[in-house]
Amino acid sequence: VCGCSRGGAVRDVPATDGLRSLQGLVLFQYDIERVLVQCAPIPVRAGKPMPFDPNDLVHPLTSLDGVRRFRIALSGGVDSKVLLHTMAILRDEGSLPAAIDAVHIHHGLSPNANRWSEHCRDSCEKLGIPYLEKRVTVDPGDRAGLEAAARHARYAALTADMTPDMC
């Protein structure tokens, strides 16, 4: 959901119960299987809708001392788009304690990579969220495998220019 530059290298931590702990901060990643009109977030688990209110994020986000900017890692998929829309709602309501921006990592691995990038840029433009695109090179022959190599490149790109006041 977001990487934080506060405690060193970002590491991949398995999500549990919709919560992801990264560098000692509790960050939210809702397991969303279905989204209704215009990315209104309606998570579904075991076939039953779970109510979601963007305001559920206000307390956890405002409890992060010293954060001046939230960076959204935007893949263009459902989860990151819901987070993008949710953060825009909270920003527009004046509920966020910090500015927001979004970054899309262009791996170039998919034949649709340029279209994903355009989709992310257009989404941010419509919501008035500053957009960054970072292109990375992934070695398809990496011993760790393509997914691990892509994840490593993505995390490195996401955190490369982050400062201690960003999350």
Overall average pLDDT of the 55-77 stretch: 89
pLDDT of residue 48: 61
Q: Which amino acid makes up residue 89?
A: I
Structure tokens at 115: 């279209």
66's CB contacts (< 8 A; 6+ apart) are 164, 165
Condensed to tens digits (0 to 9), the pLDDT of residues 88-146 reads: 999 999 999 899 999 999 998 889 999 999 999 999 999 999 999 999 999 888 888 89
Say if residues 118 and 125 touch (Cβ distance below 8 Å). no
Say if residues 166 and 71 touch (Cβ distance below 8 Å). yes
Say if residues 89 and 52 touch (Cβ distance below 8 Å). no
Backbone phi, psi, residue 93, to 5°? -80, -10
Is residue 160 scored above 70 in pLDDT? yes
37's CB contacts (< 8 A; 6+ apart) are none
Where do the H-state alpha helices sit in 33-136? 58-62, 78-93, 113-127
Condensed to tens digits (0 to 9), the pLDDT of residues 4-34 reads: 333 333 333 333 333 333 332 223 333 222 2
pLDDT of residue 46: 58
Helix (H) or strand (E) holding 22: strand 19-22
Overall average pLDDT of the 41-48 stretch: 52
d(CA 104, CA 75): 6
